[in-house]
Amino acid sequence: GEHIHLGYYTKEEMEAGYKKKNFIEAKYDFVDEMMKLGGIDLEADSSAKVLDVGCGVGGTSRHIAKKLGPNADVTGITLSPNQVKRATELAEEQGVKNAKFTVMNALEMEFPDNTFDIVWACESGEHMPDKEAYINEMMRVLKPGGKFVMATWCQRDDREVPFTKKDEKDLRFLYEEWTHPYFISIEKYAELIDATGVMNEVTTADWVDETIASWRHSIWVGVYDPRGFIFKPTKYLKCVRDAYCLERMHRAFDRGLMQYGMFAATKKTE
């Protein structure tokens, strides 16, 4: 699909049964809720310059561009030329003229200082081999008074309660299976943001309750379709392997080993 991040489920939707919610709608809801957390206002930010760091195939970038309207300018960056190609094709197909995409390293951005009104990062932090450089670069390209909002997978803070051997084994599996370099805690990200010295107080939250249904919902959508095995058995078996990984991730979030970190802050004007 267009979005490769988790979805958002309200308490009422969870009580009614998460599988009753449209899987794609949950992802759009997530973007809308993340916009609210970041204080992104459809009127006040209607002409904003927006950066989407780690945009994938651009689903979120295009959604933001549509929501803010034609006077906004949204730029998505990714390391993958294939993702840029597909994101651009989809923008053209959907008539989204105010979203563009380019290949760029988020750890060494080519943009001048103070370029963007909004810097957005959704599930890209977990892929970054240098979290400090990742944060520093985003803060650098954000304009004074600009809005920063980020969502990323985090591991719990182990400074007071060290990881057990099982915790360490489970984290190793999650790192290796999906080739993540490492995760850090919500607290550590907040410290990195504070350490830049250019940001006002950061708001943090753990959205594990709002997103945890996504893992098993993905399994139901991606695996429990017999046509997959009949027509594409090799791909289907890969889906089964992915389903096992999704379940492992669900359990890590469910027992508190992993957390879904949310962050919002504005850049100081002085």
Report the share of the chain in percent with pLDDT over 90.
82
Computed over every residue of the chain, the mean pLDDT equals 92
How large is the average pLDDT for residues 251-262?
A: 97
pLDDT at 40 over 80: yes
For residue 218, the surrounding DSSP H or E stretch is helix 213-222
**Quick one: average pLDDT of 172-184?**
91
pLDDT (mean) for 167-175: 95
Residue 231: which pLDDT band, with cuts at 50, 70 and 90? very low
Q: Looking at residue 229, what is its pLDDT?
A: 41
Work out the average pLDDT over 244-248. 88
Q: How many residues does the chain have?
A: 270
pLDDT at 226 over 60: no
Query: If pLDDT is split at 50, 70 and 90, which confidence band does 230 have?
Result: very low
Q: CB of 215 within 8 A of CB of 242? A: no
Question: Is the pLDDT confidence value at 148 over 90?
Answer: yes
Q: Give the model confidence (pLDDT) of 94-145 as tens digits.
A: 999 999 999 999 999 999 999 999 999 999 999 999 999 999 999 999 999 9
Strand ranges for the chain from DSSP E: 49-53, 73-78, 99-103, 116-122, 142-155, 203-206, 258-266
Distance between CA atoms of 108 and 1, rounded to whole angstroms? 28
Closest CA to 99 of 132, 140, 69, 134: 69
DSSP class of residue 164 equals P
Helices and strands in the chain: count of H runs, count of E runs? 11, 7
Q: How far apart are CA 250 and CA 244, in angstroms?
A: 10
**Of the candidates 186, 188, 190, 208, the residue with the CA atom closest to the CA atom of residue 199:** 190
**Are the C-beta atoms of residues 64 and 30 closer than 8 Å to each other?**
no
pTM: 0.92
Torsion of CA 243, 246, 251, 254, to 10 degrees: -130
Distance CA 151, CA 37 (A): 10
Residue 190: both structure tokens together: 């907040």
**Hey, is 241 helix, strand or coil?**
helix
